[in-house]
Structure 1
Amino acid sequence: MIELNPTPQNAHQIARRQAARRRARLRLLKNRLRNPAWTFLRNVAVAPASWRREHWILGGTAVMLTVLVGVIMPTFASATRSEPAGVALTTLTLELPPLPAEADAAIAALAANGQNEPDWKISRVKPGQSLSDIFREQGLNASDLQRALDAQEDASALRRIRPGDEFAFDIAADGSLTALRFDRDEKTRVTLAFSADKVAESIEDRAVERRVEVAHGVITSSLFEAGDQAGMSDLMTLRLANAFGYDIDFAQDLRQGDSFSVIYDEVYREGERLRAGDVIAATFINQGKRFTAIRYTNAKGETLFYTEDGRPLRKAFLRTPVEFTRISSKFSSGRMHPILGKMRAHRGVDYAAPSGTPIRAAGAGKIVFRGRKGGYGNCVILQHNGKFTTLYGHMSRFAAGKVGQRVSQGQVIGYVGMTGLASGPHLHYEFRIDGKHRDPLTVTLPKEEPLPATELARFSKGAAPLLAQLKLVDSVRLARRN
């Protein structure tokens, strides 16, 4: 503050301060003239080396002090901690539950051979192998296999083996079989303990569970690629396609942008994935049209897929009775015959497929013709519910069956070939109503009857939470896209 009327003493102090300021400005000016590059914010890169070393030394000292405190303090805390007073412990002897008699006998048989824990050698069944082949690979003879078969009341797992099945062998140093282990089914493991005079069987129950999964996919290139992107196995994707196979022709109806949501389960055993389960419920949007499939076991014990209103998705007839690569010729009132070289009507649809591809009955019916029939070559004709008949031509060979025998929908009745007037392997398929030909690709197929009212309530109660979950999945995916 500047006083307007300073006293003589104050005036003397002010004069001294002003003189000190002038001397400081003069020194600063002289320093600036001697060191024109000098600044208060010196660049570390051009600072003297001694200045940087001092800072490194100070920083290193601070780090060392921090480490010492971290090491010394916990030790000091442990040293000053008092241990609680000793607690008296009481030891109890608990009896183990008794083992099943069969397991006891198996363990005793193994112990009699001088073994406590079997040294299992695992053999997995390969395509075309028999169980006798596997026994020979292990250096065992037919009498060992016969003893294993005779020791069980249910030897079906040994008589009907499949590729991928596993058999475990415990073989003694002298080459004799001491134990055999295998799975009778998904839930049951069997161990056979061999001794000189008998074979003891023990059975172990294995925990199997079904884990429910939810997936959503959008078609960009193919159904299987979309299923893979959704985390589904190829088998589960195929089961999804089979569920909607009566309404959607996945060979020619699928479009980019079609989507699906599916609830399915996977089978796990003892925490490990065992196999694909079943489709429980699903929706499929194909060319803007929504289809729904809900798995349900009806009062007759049939497990089928139903629509939301309880009508079976299964139709009386399959739309396509063969897995094909392409449609080589459609239904037409006139086309140039590839063999005869002249115009004539084509009263069916030709599905090109490799020779030997299975041909399935489009619907349940009775075989009314089975044999050679002119230009059709090897041919089968089925009669369905009075007015419907289907014809299958150019077969390479027939499946088991004879005239008059009834077949179920989807049953194999023959195999693709090129017998008769055919320029390549394909199935010629005809659909007739009251003897008149209809285009198999466009004919309206009869529907199955819906669930009776007494059953519909139970179906609706089980379907409601599944439909709600599917709608939630659809809405979440739609929101993410938007």
Structure 2
Amino acid sequence: MTQPPQMSSDVAHHQAVRQHNLRAAAQNTANEQRLADAGDAGARFSFNGRWSRRDWAHASLFATLGALVIGLVPGFSNAMRVADHGPALTTLALPLPPLPKATRAAQAQRSWEVVKVESGQTLGSIFEARGIPAATLHRLLEASDDRQALARLRPGAELAFDQAADGRLLAFRYDRNDTQRVELSLAGDRVAEQVIERPVEVRTAVVSGKVGKSLFHSARKLGLSPSVINTLTDEVFKYDIDFDRDVTSGDRFSVVVEQTWREGELIRSGPVTAAVFTAKGKPFTAIRFERDGKGEYFSAEGRPLKKSFIRSPIQYARLSSRFGNRRHPVLGTQRMHKGVDYAARSGTPIMAAGDARVVSAGWHGGYGNTVVLDHGKGHTTLYAHMSRTAKLKRGQRVSQGDVIGFVGSTGLSTGPHLHYEFRVNGVHRNPLQHTMPPPEPLSGTALAQFRAQTGPALERIREVEEIIYASVPEAADADRRVAAATAPRGKRG
């Protein structure tokens, strides 16, 4: 008998085993192939302890790629987060509160350009040079109370302009005096004036130093103004010191002077309150004191320094010929020289030696252009060889120091100079040696007031000189300069 069901079951089992074996064989074959491939790769990439150029190139490439990934990934991450969290921010324009007045004022400060007036300039020429129309200048002058002062500007005065980019004048500024500054602002047809108060402070300073090579140069280095120096030489000590012949480099001076300061700037010096000048070891003292409403200089004893005659009718002239017998340079004969000669440039001003009345002014034979003055009490002076005389008339009164003519070489003269004669009751005297009686000193109440007012100034000079000259050797002090004892005196304005 046949068994078809049993036969059918065996066949199915054998087929299943056969399929399993085939799959196992295929799997084994695949595994072997992978192992072989891995072995080949390992052989290809095996490291022998030394890198080739190719290895270095691969390493550089991988490092660069890594850096780029590190740098870019956070950016993409941030971008993704922003996108995830919603839309970007929106900026809105919001109105701001108004600025405080102080801030607005600071922002509105003007841009001033300062112009210093030069000799010969007028306000009109300055405006024209800056391209400002004459009509604008007229509007400013009509609105200002200082029209006449602005029309007569002094050299050295400072003006300030604030102009727009197109040249239009926005504002104009000038100083009315030491304590007031005026600003004129233009807005359309309107001109607004603002007066700014500028307080000043007056200080009393003691300046002391040595003459050195030049009194003017040394005094200027100490801060003394030219006007103060001229006061010392041409007014205070001109009767007692001849600054051309009596002064040496070792001589010293001390000056008490008032200084006016404004906003930290020295704007003016003077007057000289007191001064001591030591010439050739001899001290000369001068103190300013007002008598009958007029400021004068006196000695420490209260005697006026102003004398009837000044030492020399010409400033800074050279004595070229003395009084006495000599051979005349033109005539060639021996004769008496009845005056003294001062060599100076042609055109140098000649001053009256004292208060006087004009006797004559004009041509006088060998004297050339000559002026003769009568000083009273039998004293007369003669000034010869002038290039020209001043406009003088017979009998006219002149004051000491007035210009009466100019140096020349007219008449019997070999060069420009002044021939100066001094006569007493018609008799010629040597003007370099003749002494006049001293003027009367202060007395009584005036002398007491003088001592009370001037004592502190002299004491300050003594203190400064003791500090300077007592502690510094003479040899090392030739070029010493000191400006000390400055103290505020008060404020004005």
In 2: Cα distance, 1:392 partner to 1:125 partner: 39
Deviation per CA, 1:252-300: give whole Å up to 9, x if none. 11134322222223221111121333322121222232211111222x2
Tell me the residue number matched to 1:284.
277
Task: Tell me what 2:246 maps to.
Answer: 253
**Other-structure match for 2:203:** 211
CA–CA distance in 2 between the matches of 1:142 and 1:373? 55
2:267 to 251, 268, 274: 274
- Residue 403 of structure 2 is aligned to residue 412 of structure 1: yes
Alignment of 1:437-448 (within 5 A): 437-448=428-439
Query: Is the 2:224–2:269 Cα contact (8 Å) retained in structure 1?
Result: no
From the superposition, tell whether residues 305 and 133 of structure 1 become closer, same or farther in structure 2 (CA, over 3 Å): same
The yes-or-no answer on 1:241 pairing with 2:219 is no
Identify the match of residue 398 of structure 1 among 389, 399, 409.
389
Once the two structures are TM-superposed, the CA of residue 234 in structure 1 deviates from its matched residue by 5.0
**Superposition deviation, residue 364 in structure 1:** 1.7
d(CA) in 1 for partners of 2:277, 2:407? 31
Q: Which residue, 124, 131, 138 being the options, matches 1:139?
A: 131
User: Aligned-pair distance for 1:241?
Assistant: 2.8
TM-score w.r.t. the length of structure 2 is 0.68
Q: Which residue of 2 aligns with 1:13?
A: none
Contact 1:241/1:250, CA 8 A, preserved across alignment: yes
Structure 2 distance, partners of 1:302, 1:155, is: 32
Aligned to 2:177: 185
Give the conservation status (yes or no) of the 8 Å contact 1:389–1:431.
Answer: yes
- Over 3 Å counting, the alpha-carbon distance change for 1:281 and 1:129 in structure 2 is same
How far the C-alpha of 1:470 sits from its partner, in A, is 1.9
Work out whether residues 243 and 316 of structure 2, in 8 Å CA contact, stay in contact via their aligned partners in 1.
no
Structure 2 residue runs of 5 or longer lacking an equivalent are 1-100, 474-493
How far has the Cα of 1:123 moved from its partner?
Answer: 1.5
Q: Secondary structure at the match of 2:242?
A: coil
2:329, 2:186 → 1: CA distance? Answer: 68
Q: Residue 118 of structure 2 aligns to a residue in which SS?
A: coil
How many residues of Structure 1 are paired with residues of Structure 2 in the alignment? 371
1:452: how far off?
A: 4.1
For 2:193 and 2:443, the matched residues in 1 are separated by 49
Rounded to whole Å, the distance in 2 between the matches of 1:194 and 1:446 is 66
Residues 451-472 of structure 1: per-residue CA shift (max 9 Å, x gap):
2422111111011111222222
Per-residue deviation, 1:229: 6.2
Q: Residue 128 of structure 1 aligns to a residue in which SS?
A: coil
1:167 lines up with 2:151 in the alignment: no
Matched, 1:433 2:392: no
Name the residue aligned to 1:26.
none
Whether the 8 Å contact between 2:163 and 2:171 is mirrored in structure 1 is yes
Query: Structure 2: how far apart are the matches of 1:439 and 1:387?
Result: 15
The CA distance in 2 between the partners of 1:141 and 1:233, in whole Å, is: 38
**1:262 to 2:239 alignment:** no
1:353 deviates by: 1.4
> SS of the counterpart of 1:479?
helix
Give, in whole Å, the separation in 2 of the partners of 1:336 and 1:250: 29
Contact 1:209 1:268 in 2 (8 A): yes
Q: 1:361 to 1:387 in 2, by over 3 A?
A: same
Structure 2 distance, partners of 1:356, 1:119, is 47
Q: Secondary structure at the match of 2:381?
A: strand
2:318 aligned to 307, 317, 326, which one?
326
The change in CA–CA distance for 1:401 and 1:149 in structure 2 (over 3 A counts) is farther
Alpha-carbon displacement from aligned partner over 1:5-34 (angstroms, at most 9, x marks no partner): xxxxxxxxxxxxxxxxxxxxxxxxxxxxxx
Rounded to whole Å, the distance in 2 between the matches of 1:155 and 1:452 is: 48
Separation of aligned partners in 2, 1:446 and 1:155: 52
CA RMSD of aligned residues (A): 2.9
Partner residue of 1:307?
299
Pair 1:372-2:357 in alignment: no
- Would you say the 8 A contact 2:122–2:152 is kept in 1? no
Q: Distance in 2 between matches of 1:135 and 1:273?
A: 29
The 1:394–1:190 alpha-carbon spacing in structure 2 relative to 1, beyond 3 Å, is: farther
Query: Whole-Å Cα distance in 2 between the matches of residues 185 and 379 of structure 1?
Result: 44
Select which of 216, 224, 240 maps to 1:224: 216
Distance apart, 1:394 and its partner CA: 2.0
Distance change in 2, residues 1:127/1:458 (3 Å): same
Contact 1:323 1:353 in 2 (8 A): no
Tell me by how many angstroms 1:249 deviates: 0.6
Is the partner of 2:442 in helix, strand or coil?
Answer: coil
Give the secondary structure class of the aligned counterpart of 2:386. strand
Aligned to 1:347: 338
Shift of 1:195: 5.1
Flag structure 1 segments of 5+ consecutive residues without an equivalent. Answer: 1-95, 97-110
Tell me: CA distance 1:291–1:336, structure 2 relative to 1, closer, same or farther (3 Å): same
**1:171-225, Cα deviation, whole Å (9 max, x unpaired):** 3455443432111222222223345545443322322222222222234433235
- The 3 A distance-change label for structure 1 pair 142 and 410 is farther
Following superposition, the deviation at residue 384 of structure 1 comes to 1.6
In the alignment, the residues of structure 2 paired with residue 373 and residue 151 of structure 1 have an alpha-carbon distance, to the nearest angstrom, of 58
How far apart, CA to CA, are the structure 2 residues paired with 1:393 and 1:141?
Answer: 55
Distance 1:336 1:419 in 2: 19
How far off is 1:228 after superposition?
A: 5.2
> 1:124 corresponds to which residue?
116
Cα distance in 2, alignment partners of residues 202 and 369 from structure 1: 57
How far apart in 1 are the matches of 2:384 and 2:331? 17
Tell me the distance in 2 between the aligned counterparts of 1:222 and 1:175.
48
Match of 1:389 in 2: 380
CA deviation profile, 1:16-66 (whole Å, cap 9, x unmatched): xxxxxxxxxxxxxxxxxxxxxxxxxxxxxxxxxxxxxxxxxxxxxxxxxxx
What is the DSSP-based 3-state SS (H/G/I as helix, E as strand, rest coil) of the residue aligned with 2:176? Answer: strand
The percentage of aligned residue pairs carrying the same residue is 49
SS in structure 2 of the partner of residue 185 of structure 1: coil
State the TM-score, normalized to the length of structure 1. 0.70
Relative to structure 1, the CA distance from residue 467 to residue 368 in structure 2 (aligned partners, 3 Å threshold; closer, same or farther) is same
